[in-house]
Structure 1
């Protein structure tokens, strides 16, 4: 997708306002991202070959020493920013319709989902595929356990550990262990 089209899609999706999710340029961006993810995943599964350059070329930012295991999916890629030494385990889905900022030295466990999308509350607009987005921010040196769900607008502070199966719906501070549904601080680290 050309840069001007990416900017147009970002202007629609990153503004926090309701928009038609079936807009033709949004659909094209989604299809291109899914194709790149399939290509990346298939090379690992079929040939045991990791080719991060397939993803790096279209991410918003792609740090050094990134490890992404197969069955990875991101909706757009161009709203996804990965710091250095990020590890993403198997079967992770990142719906990056708004910016998803992941700091350095983050580990994302298997089956995690990071979702910026919220659908219209009005049932008529929802049926017409209207949605809005809220960005996600994950600080440096965070660990997400298996099957963690990070919801629209969530923020996780540096050095924090999120326990397996947690659902993060708001802000979790730095330097804590947190878990549960909704995710809550269990104790401080250190």
Structure 2
């Protein structure tokens, strides 16, 4: 398997593989172009995102600048998606976001995992776990979503939360670590 195939399969891979480094560079060029556009250039913004992401549900989406991601191709957004300023996605594994999702400012979604052992970590070996967000989800500002998390449908995640575990559908969850406080 190539290092990219290992990465996408959730296996340990080399983060300094030349192919992966080149793909990161290509994505960063597109993100630079995206973030440098005037806010009125929405058609150009949408074209860059469509080219960058693996899937875009419809043309009725908005991602406020600045935006950051690693590869882009592992990101899938559903219909009527909105993300506010400083949305960051580390998409070494798939990040699947459903329809009618709203992302507050300064939200980060992480899929990359690193060893807690410093010797292992310094080898630049890592692995990734996917993140899935259902339909009709509102992620409040400054939320961090960790690798391997699934957030169900009709969920609200409160501002400043750190989502470390799955959140079931039809709930409101807040805190660090994020916990369900209400079922709807």
Shorter chain as normaliser: what TM range?
Answer: over 0.9
Quote the residue 1:56 is aligned against: 50
User: Are 1:24 and 2:15 matched, yes or no?
Assistant: no
Q: Which runs of 5+ in 1 are unaligned?
A: 1-6
Quote the residue 1:116 is aligned against: 111
CA RMSD of aligned residues (A): 1.4
How far apart are residue 130 of structure 1 and its match?
Answer: 1.1
**Alpha-carbon distance change, 68 to 36 in structure 1, aligned in 2, over 3 angstroms:** same
Q: How many equivalent residue pairs? A: 181
**Alpha-carbon distance change, 86 to 10 in structure 1, aligned in 2, over 3 angstroms:** farther
Question: After the TM superposition, which segments of 4 or more aligned residues of structure 1 sit over 3 Å from their partners?
Answer: 7-10
Aligned residues of 2:3 and 2:14 also touching (Cα < 8 A): no
CA distance in 2, matches of 1:58, 1:151: 22
CA distance in 2, matches of 1:142, 1:73: 21
User: Are 1:146 and 2:138 matched, yes or no?
Assistant: no
Map 1:84-123 to 2 at 5 A.
Answer: 84-123=79-118
CA distance in 2, matches of 1:10, 1:23: 8
User: Are 1:178 and 2:170 matched, yes or no?
Assistant: no
CA distance in 2, matches of 1:188, 1:9: 42
Q: Which runs of 5+ in 2 are unaligned?
A: none
Length-normalised TM-score, structure 1: 0.91
